[in-house]
């Protein structure tokens, strides 16, 4: 017998695939999402596609230009500024907590991610770089040992990944991540917070430059 995929699983799969296409740039800002076309492409009914689009609207990836026209969202300088302000508030604090709470096993995992980022950077593999760097930041948040911090950042994590995917200054990112790891591994919360703050602000300037061709204020 053919196994029938539950509607919820189909919705999650379509949502994840569309989200990844937006992050990777296959679907670009301003591109229209048409239910019928997407249903045909994914081989599903229009119901899970409609629900996936609504989920992506809630996540900030797409928006309704009109009741009948849905497009990939065009990020504005204000969008980027607000998201990085949130990231600065949460990630800098988390880095300090991670420095005081990280176990040897935690640090070994972060070191492995930095090593993988180095390999991907040398190969110029954008997808792996984006994935590993996102996992590195997730791991630092987890090392902070505060579930509320993680929950506060979770709703915008996808949009942050979307923005930073546009930043292709990969060797610089690798240097910053190495320094951040070393600061956390030192066990000095002040040093960890200082490096995290520098990293977030440098990444903000790079992201603005790559998205809008201008310098951040």
What tokens were used for 172? 């610089």
Instruction: Tell me the per-residue pLDDT of 91-122, one tens digit each, with 9 for 90 and over.
Output: 999 999 999 999 999 999 999 999 999 999 99
d(CA 7, CA 156): 25
Whether the CB-CB separation of 49 and 42 falls below 8 Å is answered with yes
d(CA 40, CA 34): 10
User: What percentage of the chain has pLDDT greater than the value 90?
Assistant: 76
Q: Is the pLDDT reported for residue 2 higher than 60? A: no
pTM: 0.84
Q: Which residue's structure tokens are 């591109």?
A: 31
Instruction: Tell me the per-residue pLDDT of 62-97, one tens digit each, with 9 for 90 and over.
Output: 999 998 899 999 989 999 999 999 999 999 999 999
Domains of the chain: 7-72 (1.10.10.10), 77-212 (1.20.120.530)
What pLDDT is recorded for position 161? 85
Whether the CB-CB separation of 15 and 52 falls below 8 Å is answered with yes
**Burial category of 135 from C-beta neighbours within 10 Å (exposed 0-12, middle 13-18, buried 19 and up):** middle
d(CA 48, CA 44): 7
């Amino acid at each position: 017998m053919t196994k029938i995929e539950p509607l919820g699983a189909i919705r999650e799969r379509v949502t994840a695939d569309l989200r990844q296409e937006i992050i990777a740039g296959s679907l670009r800002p301003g591109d229209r999402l048409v239910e019928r076309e997407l249903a045909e492409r994914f081989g599903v009914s229009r119901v899970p596609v409609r629900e996936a689009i609504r989920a992506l609207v809630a996540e900030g990836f797409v928006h309704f230009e009109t009741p009948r026209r849905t497009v990939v969202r065009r990020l504005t300088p204000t969008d980027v500024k607000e998201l990085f302000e949130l990231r600065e508030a949460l990630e800098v604090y988390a880095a300090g907590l991670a420095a005081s709470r990280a176990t040897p096993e935690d640090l070994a995992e972060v070191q492995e991610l930095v090593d993988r980022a180095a390999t991907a950077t040398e190969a110029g593999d954008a997808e792996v770089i984006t994935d590993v760097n996102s996992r590195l930041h997730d791991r630092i948040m987890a090392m902070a040992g505060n579930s509320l911090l993680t929950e506060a950042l979770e709703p915008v994590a996808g949009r942050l990944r979307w923005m930073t995917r546009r930043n292709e200054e990969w060797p610089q990112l690798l240097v910053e991540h190495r320094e951040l790891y070393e600061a956390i591994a030192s066990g000095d919360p002040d040093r960890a917070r200082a490096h995290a703050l520098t990293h977030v602000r440098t990444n903000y300037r790079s992201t603005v430059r790559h998205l809008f061709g201008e310098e951040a204020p």
